[in-house]
């Protein structure tokens, strides 16, 4: 069988520039995704109300938790398997993707069955109904992750941009509107979720079909060695993905458990408005993750220090203006969603700070993923424990603001522990010189945002202050925002 040689390399002559260009393409898509997402939030708030939206939010969060297991960590572990297939003429690389798709589908459907049964036994009726309707889409979401990872291996980022940033959110919103008009009531949000997931999956599959020329479905047979390799690679990484997903949503589960669907709907809205900060990091991940894996594989953890620090700096510089904007204009933005939603302003601000902390500084976790996955498991378990304890202590007296504080506490502890382990176990220092300037500029700008009346004026002046201070810091220190450290070092 002919060797599959059509792969487009992810990291070109200038790896940093390649990653940046990929991030720019993704960022444009994420901006469109946020517009669509906010449109969906407005629809959900106005048509369905906080109670029904709260039940949907809890159910969707549990489905996303199941996806972290059902995907078998293939969006990270697929790359080295495809690299190995490229070096062999025995079997086309796309057949590795098909093997993974079989395992992902079987695992996801089994999880869907378990969740559906457990929902009716344990959950309140409104949440149980939403979970049962959403459960089959565990397979859909997990297969989207797999197909997009396969496309990224070919260097094709546009499928992730279009599917996740355009097709999925817009079909979700349109599906929810159509379901409301058809009188589906409480099930309308779940119907929208189906529409968004299936439409995105069709497009993601089309990307694999187009860019893997040796598909040859007639001669495809599952390969036992390949299936076993996928399962072995999934082990610790799947557990880590599950714990990370739990870690990122533990606050939402406790709000639903302790406060009920209504406050959960308001809190869920705040979380969604804060998601663009996380999406800045996600816009880099498509090309950044395989590039970091390559640097770590060639140069070791210490040799990846500059690459990780420069990436953290650039991501932080982009995220901080979003945080400043939320601080200045978050109150009218939440009030726009409907009466009562303005109560989510301070939770929104705290959640936005937590997202900045986790997604920019969390890039150091990639060293654990590729060298010692168990360390990441331990750090996640410690952070989850801290989050649970603080949630139980703070949610009863402070409500949804206490939940946001609990999440921030967990993320902050994770950051401190991450830096300590990277320094003492891997010789990777904390990148103070890369981060101090953006953080100082943002701190001053945040103070400006809180003192100027009027959201539009506050946004304009505070962002101008941030830009001026950041530019001055770059000139004084001689630093730049370019991604560095990704070029291969001589052996």
Confidence of residue 459 (pLDDT cuts 50, 70, 90): very high
Worst-scoring range by mean pLDDT, 111-115, 240-244, 288-292?
A: 288-292
> Average of pLDDT values for 313-318?
89
Cα 113-118-119 angle, rounded to 5 deg: 100
270 versus 220: the higher-pLDDT residue is 270
Please state, as a whole number, how many other Cβ atoms lie within 10 Å of the Cβ of residue 117: 12
89 versus 146: the higher-pLDDT residue is 146
* Per-residue model confidence (pLDDT) at position 30: 61
Confidence of residue 267 (pLDDT cuts 50, 70, 90): very high
Does the pLDDT at position 195 exceed 60? yes
* Per-residue model confidence (pLDDT) at position 338: 81
Does the pLDDT at position 463 exceed 90? yes
Average pLDDT, the chain: 85
8 A C-beta contact, residue 367 and residue 296? yes
Q: Which helix (H) or strand (E) holds 24?
A: helix 15-43
Does the pLDDT at position 490 exceed 90? no
Worst-scoring range by mean pLDDT, 211-220, 416-425, 442-451?
A: 211-220
- Dihedral angle sign, alpha carbons of residues 43, 46, 50, 52: negative
> Average of pLDDT values for 59-84?
87
> Average of pLDDT values for 224-246?
85
Residue 118 burial (CB < 10 Å; 0-12/13-18/19+)? middle
3-state secondary structure of 157: coil
303 versus 113: the higher-pLDDT residue is 113
pTM: 0.76
* Per-residue model confidence (pLDDT) at position 19: 62
Residue 292 burial (CB < 10 Å; 0-12/13-18/19+)? buried
| 269-312 pLDDT per residue, tens | 999 889 888 888 877 776 777 777 778 878 787 787 888 888 88
Cα 71-73-76 angle, rounded to 5 deg: 125
Does the pLDDT at position 107 exceed 90? yes
Residue-range domain boundaries for the chain: 31-222, 263-483
Confidence of residue 3 (pLDDT cuts 50, 70, 90): very low
8 A C-beta contact, residue 8 and residue 154? yes
């Amino acid at each position: 069988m002919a060797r599959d040689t059509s792969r487009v390399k992810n990291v070109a002559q200038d790896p940093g520039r390649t990653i940046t260009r990929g991030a720019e393409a993704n960022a444009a898509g994420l901006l469109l995704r946020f517009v669509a997402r906010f449109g969906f939030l407005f629809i959900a708030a106005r048509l369905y109300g906080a109670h029904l939206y709260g039940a949907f939010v809890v159910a969707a969060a549990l489905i996303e938790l199941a996806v972290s297991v059902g995907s078998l960590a293939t969006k990270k572990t697929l790359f080295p398997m495809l690299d190995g297939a490229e070096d062999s003429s025995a079997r086309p690389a796309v057949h590795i993707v098909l093997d993974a798709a079989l395992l992902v589908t079987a695992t996801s459907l089994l999880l869907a069955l378990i969740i559906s049964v457990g929902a009716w036994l344990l959950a309140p009726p409104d949440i149980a109904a939403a979970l049962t309707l959403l459960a089959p889409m565990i397979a859909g979401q997990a297969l989207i992750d797999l197909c997009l990872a396969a496309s990224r291996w070919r260097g094709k980022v546009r499928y992730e941009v279009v599917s996740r940033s355009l097709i999925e959110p817009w079909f979700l919103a349109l599906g929810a509107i159509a379901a409301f008009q058809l009188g589906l009531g409480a099930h309308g949000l779940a119907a929208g979720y189906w529409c968004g997931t299936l439409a995105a999956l069709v497009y993601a599959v089309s990307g694999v079909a187009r860019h893997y020329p040796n598909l040859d479905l007639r001669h495809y047979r599952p390969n036992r060695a390949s299936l076993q390799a996928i399962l072995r690679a999934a082990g610790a990484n799947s557990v880590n993905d599950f714990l990370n997903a739990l870690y990122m949503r533990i606050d939402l589960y406790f709000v639903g458990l302790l406060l009920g669907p209504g406050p959960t709907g308001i809190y869920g809205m705040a979380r969604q408005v804060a998601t663009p900060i996380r999406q800045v990091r996600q816009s880099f991940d498509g090309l950044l993750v395989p590039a970091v894996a390559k640097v770590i594989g060639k140069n070791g953890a210490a040799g990846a220090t500059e690459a990780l620090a420069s990436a953290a700096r650039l991501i932080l510089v982009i995220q901080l203006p979003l945080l400043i904007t939320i601080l200045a204009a978050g109150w009218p933005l939440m009030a726009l969603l409907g009466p009562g939603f303005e109560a989510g302003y301070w939770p929104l601000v705290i959640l936005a700070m937590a997202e900045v902390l986790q997604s920019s500084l969390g890039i150091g976790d990639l060293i654990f993923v590729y060298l010692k996955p168990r360390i990441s498991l331990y750090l996640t378990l410690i952070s989850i424990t801290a989050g649970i304890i603080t949630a139980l202590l703070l949610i009863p007296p402070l409500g949804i603001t206490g939940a946001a504080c609990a999440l921030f506490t967990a993320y902050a502890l994770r950051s401190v522990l991450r830096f300590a382990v990277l320094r003492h176990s891997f010789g990777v220092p904390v990148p103070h010189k890369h981060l101090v300037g953006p953080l100082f500029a943002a701190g001053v700008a945040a103070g400006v945002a809180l003192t100027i009346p009027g959201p539009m004026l506050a946004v304009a002046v505070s962002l101008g202050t941030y830009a001026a201070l950041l530019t001055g810091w770059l000139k004084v220190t001689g630093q730049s925002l370019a991604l560095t450290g990704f070029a291969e070092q001589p052996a």
